[in-house]
Amino acid sequence: MSGRYSNSCGRLDAMSEKVVAGIDLGGTKLLGGIFSEDGVLMGERLISTCASQGVAGVSDRIKWVLDDLMDGPGRGCALQGVAVASPGPVDYRRGFIYEAPNLGWKGVPLGAELQKAWGAPVWIENDGNLAALGEYVFGYPGKYGIMLYLTVSTGIGGGLIIDGEIYRGADGGACEFGHMTILPEGGPRCGCGNFGCLESLASGTAIGRVAREAVARGRCRIVSKAVDGQDGEIDARLVCEISDAGDESASFILDEAFNYLGIGVANLVNLFNPEAVIIGGGLAGNQRLFPVVREVVSQRAYASSTENLDILPARLGGRAGLMGCWAYLLRVRQAGAKSP
Ligand SMILES: [Zn+2]
């Protein structure tokens, strides 16, 4: 073979094919993928995060996912860089996670640790920012200059892309949309410790809580019947199912949440005047969300900012963060940026 070898990149070459990798680190699921240099997703792995195993346990699982990919579809390839989409605020300059409440993490230098393990540059970026970038580049390619992205599922997050760049603010903490205050007086407590945040009123967690309270007060009989008194099983998915089947009390709970979401989006439209608001996450699949949000935004935001505004569903589903990792790595490599 005179120094040549074949690898599962499908090449017979003296030089290894170059690949990059993305890791979408969620509170419950961990999705890894490797990409060829021209952006073809060569393989992906989805495993449970097992957040209860702590920083060391989860770090090991991240390493396992990428090692497994490099042993499989990436065998014989040269890893050029890794981007990690992390929940919560991060210092992207240092590869440092300030806080990831869903994981119970505070002050974790994940970038340095992974870099040591893989010997390849590692970048850590907020998951909402990367999902926004993924939708910008792959979901709606070339369509919008200023695009806001919101994900509405267990929590509410998102990102803002301006002319292809992530808007991070001064310290990387911008676009925590879920934590804008919507109800200052008497609002429910949010996971961040504040009261009346958008996330505490319009997320899947909030919808489940409101439905359970309604059942406890005897105001949502059909939800109650559907779970046969199993209070703990009432969640947003069930409320959506029962609403789809025509139950008015479940639809009322959803409309109230989507009304709050519309208020949040209207605030964002008045602040940023985007060309598009793209909404993803589990609840974006509910048929009531877009009509309610569009109506509230048209009532509350400036007409000049809503006239040409598109409010549309995300297109990449659960892969937005992973695809954003690839787009991010392409940008930093083109810019010749050194990892932290
Ligand atoms: Zn909050």
Every domain of the chain and the residues it spans: 5-127+319-334, 141-314
The values of phi and psi at residue 218, to 5°, are 75, 20
155-201 pLDDT, tens per residue? Answer: 999 999 999 999 999 888 899 999 999 999 889 999 888 999 999 99
The CA 194 to ligand 1 mean position distance, Å, reads 5
Judge whether residue 118 has pLDDT over 80: yes
The values of phi and psi at residue 113, to 5°, are -65, -45
**Cβ-count burial 232-245 (b if 16+ within 10 Å, e if not):** eebbbebbbebbee
141-314 CATH pick, 3.40.1440.10, 3.40.50.1820, 3.30.420.40, 3.40.50.150: 3.30.420.40
Comparing 334 with 292, the larger pLDDT belongs to: 292
The CA 177 to ligand 1 mean position distance, Å, reads 9
Tell me the average pLDDT of the chain. Answer: 91
Helices 127-134 and 320-334, axial angle in degrees (round to 10)? 90
What is the average per-residue pLDDT within 219-241?
74
The CA 188 to ligand 1 mean position distance, Å, reads 10
Under 8 Å CB-to-CB from 243, ≥6 apart: which residues? Answer: 250, 251, 253, 254, 286, 288
pLDDT band at 339 (very low <50, low <70, confident <90, very high): low
5-127+319-334: CATH number: 3.30.420.40
Could you tell me the pTM of the whole model?
Answer: 0.90
First to last CA, the chain: 39
- Rounded Cα distance, 264 and 302, in Å: 14
The CA 278 to ligand 1 mean position distance, Å, reads 21
The CA 72 to ligand 1 mean position distance, Å, reads 41
Cβ–Cβ under 8 Å, residues 167 and 145 = no
Residues with CB under 5 A from ligand 1 (ion): 179, 190, 192, 194, 197
What is the average per-residue pLDDT within 95-112?
92
The CA 195 to ligand 1 mean position distance, Å, reads 7
- Rounded Cα distance, 309 and 95, in Å: 35
